[in-house]
Amino acid sequence: MTESSSLDQEVAALAREAKAAARLMATAGTAVKDAVLRRVAHALVGSARAVVLEANARDMRAGEEAGLSPAMLDRLRLDGARLDAISAGLREIMALPDPVGRERERRTLPNGIELSRMGVPLGLVAMIYESRPNVTIDAGALTLKSGNAVILRGGKEAFESNRTLAAVFSTALESEGLPAAAVTLLPTTDRRATLALIQQAGVVDLVIPRGGEGLIRFVSDNARVPVLQHFKGVCHVYVDASADLEMATRVVLNSKAQRPGVCNALETLLVDARVADAFLPRVARELSAAGVALRGDEAVRARVPEAEPATEADWDTEYLDLVLSIAVVADLDGALSHISRHGSGHTECIVTEDAARAERFLREADASLVLVNASTRFNDGSQLGLGAEIGISTTKLHAYGPMGLEQLCSSKWVGRGAGQIRG
Amino acid sequence: MTESSSLDQEVAALAREAKAAARLMATAGTAVKDAVLRRVAHALVGSARAVVLEANARDMRAGEEAGLSPAMLDRLRLDGARLDAISAGLREIMALPDPVGRERERRTLPNGIELSRMGVPLGLVAMIYESRPNVTIDAGALTLKSGNAVILRGGKEAFESNRTLAAVFSTALESEGLPAAAVTLLPTTDRRATLALIQQAGVVDLVIPRGGEGLIRFVSDNARVPVLQHFKGVCHVYVDASADLEMATRVVLNSKAQRPGVCNALETLLVDARVADAFLPRVARELSAAGVALRGDEAVRARVPEAEPATEADWDTEYLDLVLSIAVVADLDGALSHISRHGSGHTECIVTEDAARAERFLREADASLVLVNASTRFNDGSQLGLGAEIGISTTKLHAYGPMGLEQLCSSKWVGRGAGQIRG
């Protein structure tokens, strides 16, 4: 037997075991699921803390030796304060309502059947992500609370950390009489194992890739199971001719600079030509003061000499950094056309005092969240009142936007009759 | 250039053109979409009737020569009465509310942002189906009304009929100033063209295969775009120990025999051992009188001598015919376990007078519709009050069950603010 086919068989066996766990998790009650989360929350601030931090220190040393950037090392790092925050996050998930079995839309059909919909878990979710080990806990907790099982495949830089974190889950599951395999970490970060995982049709019910373009492309091109992409956010703010320019400045600054390294941060500012003279020098001054490097088209550079020239590639780039590209557009049509060509279906915002243009923008801009007069940074599960999220889906099927507990479920139709038949 | 790569390029060009049409359809108003449907409804009972019936006659002659079964020829056949019914169906779709732009769940966030969700089309849908030409009209009408564009790939037996029907749509679209490509028929039924179609990642937003196992498997194994399977219905009725046996007989008869050739018809009856003596001879008599051939396990055959022995394959078979397999199970656990092994996620029913068992069955049986005391035949978009349907999804992602206008849409989040930023 070749090494590869033996790896395939190992992954297939793990997936089958996790799927069997998913069937049990689907009928687990809220109390026992919350008890598992409580045990994990306790362990991270108590019994498991030392071993987790030790494993993380090994990952950090290996990462330093491998020459990871300071930003990557920071994403990788766990410490007491971060474990406290992760533990607090688990308590927030415990406090959220259980989506499984929840009834919606009850009505009586003309024939007397009582019809409703009931939340049901999706089954076995595969989560493919990159460096941050806290995603291991978030994804484990959210899939568990929503009655699913999960197979996690994190980044190789965080492998030791992830292994101890997944073990904390498995111990907690077993202590509550639930199957340890409900939270399974893929035992290798070998890409062939990932490939085998995303081809378990009929066993894995959904794969969520969350990360860079290469990862998403690899999963989408090779999966034989449904994929919900959590892709990049090339988010725009369009400042319309009627905008309150003081408000526009505030929204742009917050969207770009409040936390530039995340997917709902602003990447491209579009300015209506009619307010370019009044708005551009002013917003450029404030952005520069906040440390944001500017890139602009010719119309921008005529008004903002310090802006570097933007290349065609800039309009499609998610900087995740203190960099902003700026273009002047003729009007709302120009803005919508730019967004249609370069938007990533994540978050789009118009700043305007004109109600008709606001409504047209809301209707026509294609993104999981469209906003009038508010920061793009609001595209986030907690901010929108969904509770914690596993990420933000840029796939229109099933869940478009933040994916919380409800989006990790499906719903089935339920009919209660008294012997009704079709005529 | 090889023949195959030229075919690939032709399909890719058609898909791009249909995608461009989808962008225009997404913002088309309700009135103009309904005007297109009205034109198609008119044409089918007027100007286009002769050419459609002529094309269908050619398909029928070719089908007869190819030795199609009478049942297949019947599915293929169009006549005046069927066109009248199809035309009436279009008027029903016109009367349904437009799901695009519809607002749901409006609420005010603590920071004052008015948050809601808005229905948005999915984009470009590819529909792969088999022989019935009325699906061409249904799929065209439902995708159009829901603001999508569609590429249709029907069965090769119906190709001439489908070509004229798609042409009726294109003419109607152009007459209303909309792009003809919003309803595109793949110009060949060559499987390589289908393959090229389902691999247009980023262009085709969703593929819906509807038909037999081979078709579904081919699409699922080869698609590079999201797939919603409309798969077989191996539907069960479980007659519990507490069932009203008169009601159970009525529900079983209706589920099996009212229209046996459809996916929501009953295929396997499960009978609780405690009522096997009282129920089986009685229901068998009525089923036999209705022309249903019975297959049973040993416990069944001990009570119903005329039943043939059921093989293991019978429990996984969708007969689509007047055939029923029957098994005796020990209790509700036995029924749920049989359904978990052999169910297809379509429709499951319990007949019982015991409320606790009813609720457990509703919660634990995994199907797009679970029923207490009602015929499986109710799993249908019109019966459930959704209006016309494009089919019944057995995929848990996005839409589980009948797929009507709402399920052909996604929703985006919409936030109306007054300058809110994140702290």
β partners of residue A409: A121
User: With a CB-CB cutoff of 8 Å, which residues 143-182 of chain B face chain A?
Assistant: none
Residue A2 pLDDT class (50, 70, 90 cuts):
low
Contact B193, B212 (CB under 8 A): no
pLDDT the model gives residue B3: 61
Strands A323-329 and B235-239, by their bridges, are unpaired
**What strand order describes the sheet that includes A293-296?**
A308-309, A293-296, A323-329, A266-272, A235-239, A347-351, A369-374, B409-420, B114-121, B103-108
d(CA A91, CA A89): 5
What phi and psi, each to the nearest 5 degrees, are found at residue A397? -70, 140
Contact assignment for A373 to B122 by CB distance below 8 Å: no
Q: Which of A393-397, B169-173, B308-312 is the least confident region?
A: A393-397
Give Dmax (Cα) for chain B: 77
Contact assignment for A385 to B258 by CB distance below 8 Å: no
Side-chain-side CA neighbours of residue A319 (13 Å): 24
Which chain B residues are Cβ-neighbours of A220 within 8 angstroms?
201, 224
ipTM of model = 0.92
Spatial neighbors of A259 by CB under 8 A, at least 6 apart, are: A265, A377
| B218: nearest CA partner in chain A | A224
Write out pLDDT tens, residues B219-269: 988 998 888 888 889 999 999 999 999 999 999 999 999 999 889 999 999
Over range A364-384, report the average pLDDT: 96
Residue type, B198: I
Contact A254, A287 (CB under 8 A): no
Over range B97-116, report the average pLDDT: 95
pLDDT the model gives residue A220: 87
Residue A261's Cα: distance from chain center in Å? 13
β partners of residue B121: B409
Give the C-alpha distances (Å, rounded to integers) separating B359 from A44, A273, A316, B384.
38, 62, 51, 20
Q: Which two tokens stand for residue A378?
A: 């609001």
For the cut 50, the answer to whether the pLDDT of residue A422 exceeds it is yes
d(CA A14, CA A187): 10
What mean pLDDT value characterizes chain A? 95
Spatial neighbors of A56 by CB under 8 A, at least 6 apart, are: A76, A77, A78, A133, A160, A161
- Listed by start position, the domains of chain A span 7-99+120-230, 235-383
Best A207, A259, A413 member to test B by mutation, with max B CBs in 10 Å, is: A413
Alpha helices per DSSP H over A308-395 = 332-342, 355-364
Angle at A274 between CA B23 and CA A324, to 5 degrees: 70
For the cut 70, the answer to whether the pLDDT of residue B326 exceeds it is yes
Contact B149, B19 (CB under 8 A): yes
Write out pLDDT tens, residues A25-38: 999 999 999 999 99
Q: What is residue A116's DSSP assignment?
A: E
Label residue B96 left, alpha or beta by phi (over 0 means left) and psi (-120 to 50 means alpha). Answer: beta
Can you spell out the DSSP letters for A140-195?
A: HHHHHHTT-EEEEE--GGGHHHHHHHHHHHHHHHHHTTS-GGGEEE-S---HHHHH
Which chain A residues are Cβ-neighbours of B122 within 8 angstroms?
396-397
Which chain A residues are Cβ-neighbours of B377 within 8 angstroms?
421-422
Q: What is residue A274's DSSP assignment?
A: G
Contact assignment for B254 to A411 by CB distance below 8 Å: no
Residue A3 pLDDT class (50, 70, 90 cuts):
low
What phi and psi, each to the nearest 5 degrees, are found at residue A202? 85, -10
pLDDT the model gives residue A154: 94
Helix (H, G, I), strand (E, B) or coil at A23: helix
Buried b (16+ CB within 10 A) or exposed e, A71-94: ebbebbbbeeeebeebbebbeebb
Side-chain-side CA neighbours of residue A120 (13 Å): 29
Higher per-residue confidence, B1 vs A265: A265
Write out pLDDT tens, residues B37-73: 999 999 999 999 999 999 999 999 999 999 998 888 9
Residue A84, H or E segment = helix A80-95
Residue count (chain A):
423
Q: What is the pTM of this model?
A: 0.91
Q: Which of A81-85, A224-228, A417-421 is the least confident region?
A: A224-228
Q: Which two tokens stand for residue A194?
A: 């990932």
A7-99+120-230 domain in CATH 2.40.50.1070?
Answer: no
Of A247, A372, A385, the CB nearest to B416: A372
Reported CATH class of domain B235-382: alpha beta
Question: Mind spelling out the 3-state secondary structure of chain B?
Answer: CCHHHHHHHHHHHHHHHHHHHHHHHCCCCHHHHHHHHHHHHHHHHCCCHHHHHHHHHHHHHHHHHCCCCHHHHHHHCCCHHHHHHHHHHHHHHHHCCCCCCCEEEEEECCCCCEEEEEEEECCEEEEECCCCCHHHHHHHHHHHHCCCEEEEECCHHHHHHHHHHHHHHHHHHHHCCCCHHHEEECCCCCHHHHHHHCCCECCECEEEEECCHHHHHHHHHHCCCCECCECCCCEEEEECCCCCHHHHHHHHHHHHHCCCCCCCCEEEEEEEHHHHHHHHHHHHHHHHHCCCEEEECHHHHHHCCCCEECCHHHHHCCCCCCEEEEEEECCHHHHHHHHHHHCCCCEEEEECCCHHHHHHHHHHCCCCEEEEEECHHHCCCCCCCCCCCCCEECCCCCCCEECCCHHHEEEEEEEEEEEECCC
Look at residues B301, B288, B210, B302 and name the one whose alpha carbon lies nearest to residue B256.
B288
| A102: nearest CA partner in chain B | B363
β partners of residue A323: A293
pLDDT the model gives residue B1: 47
Mind telling me how many Å the CA of A267 is from chain B's nearest CA?
A: 16
Write out pLDDT tens, residues B371-389: 999 999 999 998 998 888 9
A235-383 domain in CATH 3.90.1010.10?
Answer: no
Write out pLDDT tens, residues A143-163: 999 999 999 999 999 999 999
Share of chain B above pLDDT 70, in %: 99
Q: Within 10 Å of residue A22's Cβ, how many Cβ atoms?
A: 26
pLDDT the model gives residue A1: 47
A245 at B interface, C-beta within 8 A: no
Residue B416's Cα: distance from chain center in Å? 37
A341 at B interface, C-beta within 8 A: no
d(CA A398, CA A407): 8
B356 at A interface, C-beta within 8 A: no
For the cut 60, the answer to whether the pLDDT of residue B310 exceeds it is yes
What phi and psi, each to the nearest 5 degrees, are found at residue B108? -100, 125
d(CA B253, CA B245): 12
**How far is the first Cα of chain B from the last one, in angstroms, to the nearest whole number?**
59
| B123: nearest CA partner in chain A | A396
What mean pLDDT value characterizes chain B? 95
User: With a CB-CB cutoff of 8 Å, which residues 61-120 of chain A face chain B?
Assistant: 101, 107, 109, 113, 115, 118, 120
For the cut 70, the answer to whether the pLDDT of residue B7 exceeds it is yes
For the cut 90, the answer to whether the pLDDT of residue B316 exceeds it is yes
Label residue A401 left, alpha or beta by phi (over 0 means left) and psi (-120 to 50 means alpha). Answer: left
Q: Which of A63-72, A210-219, A239-248, B78-87 is the least confident region?
A: A210-219
**How far is the first Cα of chain A from the last one, in angstroms, to the nearest whole number?**
59
Torsion angle (degrees, nearest 10) of CA B315, B316, B322, B325: 0
pLDDT the model gives residue A292: 97
Over range B391-409, report the average pLDDT: 93
CATH number of B3-105+115-230+403-415: 3.40.50.1370, 3.40.605.10, 3.40.50.11440, 3.30.930.10?
3.40.605.10
Of B251, B362, B364, the CB nearest to A421: B251
